[in-house]
């Protein structure tokens, strides 16, 4: 599964560790700027009137002639059910980017998956952008049946987005229920950690795009909702597994 509609590729080997982390979300009152330079954790609610649009940058993919926009709902930002024509033309993608100002951090997003088959709320990091067009990024899409990670790159010959399959973690997630995506990234390590809900933690290193300060959300293939964002400076997902309390496995 990717948002280009290309055939699936075999995933590369990856390492996982086990960790379950609770997250407590705090709504940001209307009028409070979501500045990534503040001390401590950054907390943003995507509810209507509760976030500062001026700090976020809508992007488009190379094949899109205009920049799609998310739908503002009462409690979330989202996408609707795309038409068959939009899916055929690969126009079922909506992207929004944010600059955390941090090269070592963890971002966490509360989201839900719509009922359409193949719907895949997405997240991206390490983006490079040219004139409002996404040129390259590490992308993670969460469907009901899998978490798929890709390196999206613009082909200089064709000008189209290509997707290199990095890894996949298969596990069922109920559509319509809220889930939490976590990503810890490090420019120094050139590595990222990924987790959805209480899944194992997936680690990726040296994938071809070094993390920078920018992250984003990506609505793909169907109805997606994004409710809240949390940015933790440094982060707390572990870079390596430790023995469980009371002894080793």
- How far apart CA 38 and CA 228 sit, in angstroms, is 18
User: For residue 246, is it within any domain?
Assistant: no
User: For residue 59, is it within any domain?
Assistant: yes
The confidence score (pLDDT) of residue 249 equals 54
Total domains, the chain:
1
Max CA distance (Å), the chain: 58
Q: Which two three-digit tokens encode residue 85?
A: 């024509």
Report pTM. Answer: 0.84
Provide the mean pLDDT of the chain. 86
85's CB contacts (< 8 A; 6+ apart) are none
The confidence score (pLDDT) of residue 85 equals 84
The confidence score (pLDDT) of residue 10 equals 38
Range of the domain at 49: 36-233
DSSP symbol at 82: P
Residues in the chain, total: 249
- How far apart CA 98 and CA 213 sit, in angstroms, is 9
Residues 109-143 have pLDDT tens digits of 999 999 999 999 999 999 999 999 999 999 999 99
User: For residue 239, is it within any domain?
Assistant: no
CATH number of domain containing 96: 2.60.120.560
- How far apart CA 14 and CA 166 sit, in angstroms, is 9
User: For residue 247, is it within any domain?
Assistant: no
User: For residue 145, is it within any domain?
Assistant: yes
Q: How confident is the model at residue 26 (pLDDT cuts 50, 70, 90)?
A: very low
3-class SS at 86?
helix
């Amino acid at each position: 599964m990717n948002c280009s509609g290309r055939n699936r590729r075999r995933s590369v080997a990856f390492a996982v560790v086990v960790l379950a982390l609770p997250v407590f979300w705090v709504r940001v009152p209307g009028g409070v700027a979501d500045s990534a330079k503040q001390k401590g954790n950054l907390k943003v609610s995507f509810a209507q009137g509760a976030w500062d649009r001026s700090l976020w940058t809508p992007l488009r993919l190379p094949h899109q002639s205009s920049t799609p926009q998310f739908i503002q709902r009462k409690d979330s930002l989202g996408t609707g059910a795309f038409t068959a024509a939009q899916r055929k033309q690969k126009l079922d993608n909506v992207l929004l980017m944010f600059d955390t100002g941090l090269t070592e951090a963890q971002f966490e997003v509360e989201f839900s998956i719509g009922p359409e088959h193949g719907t895949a709320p997405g997240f991206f990091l390490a983006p490079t952008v040219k004139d409002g067009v996404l040129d390259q990024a590490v992308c993670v899409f969460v469907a009901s049946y899998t978490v798929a990670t890709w390196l999206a790159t613009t082909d200089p010959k064709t000008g189209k987005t290509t997707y290199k399959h990095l890894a996949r973690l298969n596990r069922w997630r109920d559509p319509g229920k809220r889930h939490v995506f976590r990503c810890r990234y490090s420019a120094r390590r050139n590595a990222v950690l990924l987790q959805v809900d209480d899944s194992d933690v997936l680690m990726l290193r040296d994938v071809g795009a070094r993390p920078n300060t920018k992250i984003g959300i990506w609505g793909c293939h169907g109805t997606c909702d994004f409710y809240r964002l949390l940015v933790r400076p440094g982060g707390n997902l572990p870079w390596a597994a430790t023995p469980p309390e009371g002894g080793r496995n």
